[in-house]
Amino acid sequence: MKGERTCPRCGAVARPPGAWSSRWLCAIHGEIYPLAPLVAPSARLIHQLGDTSAVPLWLPWPLLRGWVVGTVIHAGDDASGVRAVGVGISGPNPMGGPGDLLLVAEEPGVGLGAGLAGLAGPDPGKAVEGEPQAKVYAGGRTVPLWFVEGPADRAVYVGQWSGSWLWAILYPQSAGVLMLEDVAVVDLRDLGHEADLLPYGTPPPWLAHSYDQ
């Protein structure tokens, strides 16, 4: 519900920011990292986040033909820095129609990736057990990904990279076929001025709806 936040750890309704704190507060788990407004992405925003982010800004690289950067979202504030970042690309779904691939890097417990994946808790829990179903190449190594059961309208995978979660959220679910390919990702902070030359678009409607909940 708009105007209301729940704790990503326990699901309890959080107390809104007040005179003594700029963050939402859970009675059990304390402060919750605030979500930044969903805005159109830009090279300037990427550089700003890159300067303060504690996690990578993952992007498939090279960028898929005909796709644009449609989303850059994050959680955190000036005091704590950026603790979760999602970078999404939009383009032609191999199965027909448009498709979206959103990569989220976050510290454990933040809950941005799980929220966008449609899960109740902050982390994937037991989903990262057994045999992985996909993989990406990040930071010079293979990162195994596990399929996560979630809403029927999207495909969700998650793994771990250097102590942080790496989520891959694909919409619609049929776009999940992209994970059958050898997907390589790069930290946008490593692209430098190449980030200025990327094609930028706007956030897809489904993401705007999920982000505002």
The domain ranges of the chain are 1-32, 34-211
Q: What is the pLDDT of residues 167-207, one digit of tens each?
A: 999 999 999 999 999 899 999 999 989 999 999 999 999 98
Q: What is the pLDDT of residues 124-177, one digit of tens each?
A: 888 888 999 999 999 889 999 999 998 999 999 999 999 999 999 999 999 999
Q: How far apart are CA 177 and CA 158, in angstroms?
A: 15
Q: What is the mean pLDDT of residues 53-60?
A: 97
Q: What is the pLDDT of residues 79-116, one digit of tens each?
A: 778 999 999 999 999 999 999 999 999 999 888 998 89
Within a 10 A sphere around the Cβ of 34, how many other Cβ atoms?
Answer: 16
What pLDDT score does 110 carry? 87
- Asked if the model's pLDDT at residue 69 lies above 70, the reply is yes
Residue 160 and residue 150 in contact, taking contact as beta carbons nearer than 8 Å: no
Q: How far apart are CA 128 and CA 134, in angstroms?
A: 12
**pTM of the complete model:** 0.88
What pLDDT score does 2 carry? 47
What pLDDT score does 52 carry? 92
Buried b (16+ CB within 10 A) or exposed e, 68-105: bbbbbbbbbbeeeebbbbbbbbbbebeeeeebbbbbbb
What pLDDT score does 58 carry? 98
Residue 109 and residue 97 in contact, taking contact as beta carbons nearer than 8 Å: no
- Of the candidates 39, 35, 44, 48, the residue with the CA atom closest to the CA atom of residue 5: 35
Answer positive or negative: Cα dihedral of 156, 160, 161, 163: positive
